[in-house]
Amino acid sequence: MKQIFICPLLLFFALTLAAAPRILLAPDASPYEKFAAEELRRVWEISSGVQLTITSDAIPEKGDIVIGTSTNPRIKQQMKQLGLSTERKHEAAVQEIDGVLHLAGQTPRAAVDAVMLFLRENRLYRQTEAARTFGFTPLFRSSEEFTRA
């Protein structure tokens, strides 16, 4: 029996958007936040064949993805809804607010953690022993691919 994994968020974007979502960063995004955006774009392209645009000069629209910390004005105005607190600096938040996906944390490292959490929860990453050593690898899309590996 062939089993196919479907990412709910990718399916949502595919059904509701004509264009691919954009990844929005603050103009002064840290190297960690830029890494997180690049990693999200890389895995998204492997999983869907669509390359996302990374930008820092756009207003979020429905379907966009915002990555960042409380220094990012787009994140700062959503801190309460994201459940982020200045007391919990290493906490990550993954939440859709008004059609915009927010991947955020109080620190740049927490923002990276939010992206990795999103990718794992949506089955876009598979963690293996090699992945723990060298990074993450894309998930197999079906059990048939898994048995061939």
pLDDT at position 142 is: 40
Residue 132: C-alpha distances to residues 53, 103, 111, 127, 128 (Å): 28, 22, 19, 7, 6
> How distant is the alpha carbon of residue 79 from its chain centre?
17
Render pLDDT for 8-67 as a digit per residue (tens, 0 to 9).
Answer: 555 555 544 457 889 999 999 999 999 999 999 988 888 778 889 999 988 888 999 999
pTM score, whole prediction: 0.71
Q: State both tokens at 67.
A: 């990555």
pLDDT interval class at 104 (50, 70, 90): very high
pLDDT at position 45 is: 85
pLDDT at position 102 is: 92
Residue in 125, 144, 126, 118 with CA at minimum distance from that of residue 4: 144
Alpha carbons within 13 A on the beta-carbon side of 58: 17
